[in-house]
Amino acid sequence: MKALLTLGGFGRSFCARMAKIFTIYDTTLRDGTQGEGISFSSADKIRIAERLDAFGVHYIEGGWPGSNPKDMEFFELASKRKFKHAKITAFGSTRRAKTTCAADAQIQMLEKAGTPVVTMFGKTWALHVTEVLRTTLEENLAMISDSVRYFQQAGKEVIYDAEHFFDGYKADAKYALATLTAAQDAGASMVVLCDTNGGTMPAEISRITGAVRKVLKCPVGIHTHNDSGVGVANALAAVEAGATQVQGTMNGYGERTGNCNLTTVMPCLALKLGYDCIPKENLRHLRELSNFIDDLANVRPDIRQPFVGATAFAHKGGIHVNAVEKVAHSYEHITPELVGNHRRVLVSDLSGRSNILMKAHEMGIDLGKDTPEVREILQQLKQMEHAGYEYEAADASFHILAQKLLKKHKPFFKLLAYRVIMDRQGAGAGVVEASVKLEVAGKVIHTVAEGDGPVNALDQAFRTALSSFYPAVNTVRLVDYKVRILDGGTGTAAKTRVIIESTDGTDTWGTVGVDDNIIEASWEALVDAVEYKLFKDEKKK
């Protein structure tokens, strides 16, 4: 696919000068898994590869054959599948010093992976050659040439990753360029410049990439790390200087502080700079893809991620919300739906009438500009926030609050009493028991349950009491439970705020409770969570 000309100045000069093939190279399954806490099974990796392929990624790096059995299993599974867009690549090193490719076990494992593309890294920094590999500069050039040529002659597409290139160039530009030329002349289809330590600045990336483009005839790619917080900026700087492939990971996973984040760089390339790197219609699935990979990695999504984060298009200040209500792009750099996201209006003590109106509309509450209750809702909201409530992450509690003030709230039950008891004797395990007495549909229901702790026991007894009347409560699952001490100066007597995040497998919602007693604050949040589910289901009928 060819890069489109952009109307903006960034990248326009070289785009206008020549048409270029532009590709996205995903290394989530290899470089991404080097991040702390990130791990995928072989089945996970196949599912991710299939989703990346459907999204339109050009290269998917599956792992390092021979480094672990899981990666080899992935390549075996991948060989039995047909990928519509992406090429599966195997990653490895150049041959060892003073040996041949045929005798190098790692090279042979790369070949055994059976992928159409081999991505191979080699040393470009003289320091690493002499002090880490403990070989000569001349032997290192031969290692690069021999390894690239070996796979090129075997009919493989070879991408050469120049490890530590920018540090190597700054230390000895002539030798660093010689390593790239060795790879190119041996048949590499592309040479990728790696900022392995993540310490290079965008201006340096741009200048050095431009210098490389003047020397090489083959295409140049960029592989950046985020140690200095400029991984994406560095990738874009390299693109401006002529790089035609960006390597990175979904959600920025990677060793130390991570890699160039593809969920940020892809929309920047496609929507800001006009590159035809990913079909624009596919970008509408970007947030969904990002969340899918976080789910498989068992990582909570970063709400502040550009483009795909939950707060990427969230508006809190009253003036901002008022402006967005009139002209959306006055405070939004793109239409959220272009990347599968959506606008959110936050309600807090900073809210104005526009926040209330837009939030009500977002949640399906019939509220007009002239509705007299708008002012009452706003005043009540500010009073509640002053008392310690926080509704930014508790949309469901705000919905219930608004419904009550509009006198449209329908109570599904009435609390008569609850009790929580913990019994512990000596060093043995304690027993926590909760009892709940409710009035539901004119009947008094009294249930008792044990739990891992007071909140869990209370939750279990509460659901048991309601389940025979409202079976849907059994689908509600607590996703997260946060406790915040609001006035630490009072010690253990401090007022406590509890925020609960719940899901029914389809939707996720937040609720809040505040009280001097943590159990009472938790109960308040639990009740809102269940009532919101019941209200939501009733509305669908």
Give tens-digit pLDDT for 500-509.
988 888 888 8
Q: Retrieve residue 468's tokens.
A: 């025979």
List C-alpha distances in Å: 416 to 44, 84, 253, 446, 527.
48, 61, 50, 9, 13
Q: Rounded distance, CA 158 to CA 282, Å?
A: 28
User: Does residue 458 contact residue 436 with C-beta atoms inside 8 Å?
Assistant: yes
Residue type, 498: V
- Give which of 83, 37, 34 is closest to 63, Cα–Cα: 34
Collapsed DSSP state (helix, strand, coil) of residue 438: strand
Write b or e for each residue in 287-309: b if 16 or more Cβ atoms lie within 10 A of its Cβ, otherwise e. Answer: bebbeebbebbeeebbeebbbbb
- Give which of 342, 321, 339 is closest to 331, Cα–Cα: 321
The structure tokens 């490389």 sit at: 212
Q: Rounded distance, CA 443 to CA 445, Å?
A: 6
Residue 491 buriedness (CB in 10 A; 0-12 / 13-18 / 19+): exposed
- Give which of 258, 209, 185 is closest to 28, Cα–Cα: 258
Q: Rounded distance, CA 306 to CA 311, Å?
A: 9
User: Does residue 437 contact residue 449 with C-beta atoms inside 8 Å?
Assistant: no
Domains of the chain and CATH, by start: 12-297 (3.20.20.70), 314-386 (no CATH), 413-469 (3.30.160.740)
Cα dihedral across residues 162, 165, 169, 172: positive or negative: negative
Number of neighbours of residue 118 by Cβ within 10 angstroms:
25
Collapsed DSSP state (helix, strand, coil) of residue 34: helix
Collapsed DSSP state (helix, strand, coil) of residue 535: helix
What single-letter DSSP state applies at residue 472? Answer: G
Q: Rounded distance, CA 80 to CA 92, Å?
A: 22
- Dihedral of the CA atoms 147, 152, 157, 160 (nearest 10)? 30
Q: Rounded distance, CA 531 to CA 116, Å?
A: 55
Contacts of the segment 360-365: beta carbons below 8 A, 24+ positions apart: 360/402, 363/395, 363/398, 363/399, 363/402, 364/539, 365/399, 365/402, 365/403, 365/406
Collapsed DSSP state (helix, strand, coil) of residue 148: helix
Q: How far apart are the first and last CA of the chain?
A: 48
204 CB contacts (<8 Å, ≥6 apart)? 166, 170
Residue type, 353: R
| Integer-rounded Cα radius of gyration of the chain | 29
What single-letter DSSP state applies at residue 5? Answer: P
Q: Write out pLDDT tens, residues 333-360.
A: 888 889 988 776 655 544 555 565 665 6
Residue type, 21: I
Strands 431-440 and 414-423 turn out to be: antiparallel
- Give which of 366, 405, 368 is closest to 383, Cα–Cα: 405
User: Does residue 328 contact residue 335 with C-beta atoms inside 8 Å?
Assistant: yes
List C-alpha distances in Å: 439 to 184, 411, 443, 466.
78, 11, 5, 10
Q: Rounded distance, CA 524 to CA 510, Å?
A: 12
Collapsed DSSP state (helix, strand, coil) of residue 197: coil
- Give which of 229, 236, 224, 234 is closest to 257, Cα–Cα: 229
Q: What residues in the chain have per-residue pLDDT under 70?
A: 1-20, 315-332, 344-373, 392, 425-429, 488-493, 541
The structure tokens 């002090």 sit at: 131
Element (H, E) at 447: strand 443-451
**Global confidence as pTM:** 0.71
Q: How many residues does the chain have?
A: 541
User: Does residue 49 contact residue 62 with C-beta atoms inside 8 Å?
Assistant: yes
User: Does residue 89 contact residue 61 with C-beta atoms inside 8 Å?
Assistant: yes
List C-alpha distances in Å: 494 to 419, 485, 487.
21, 6, 5
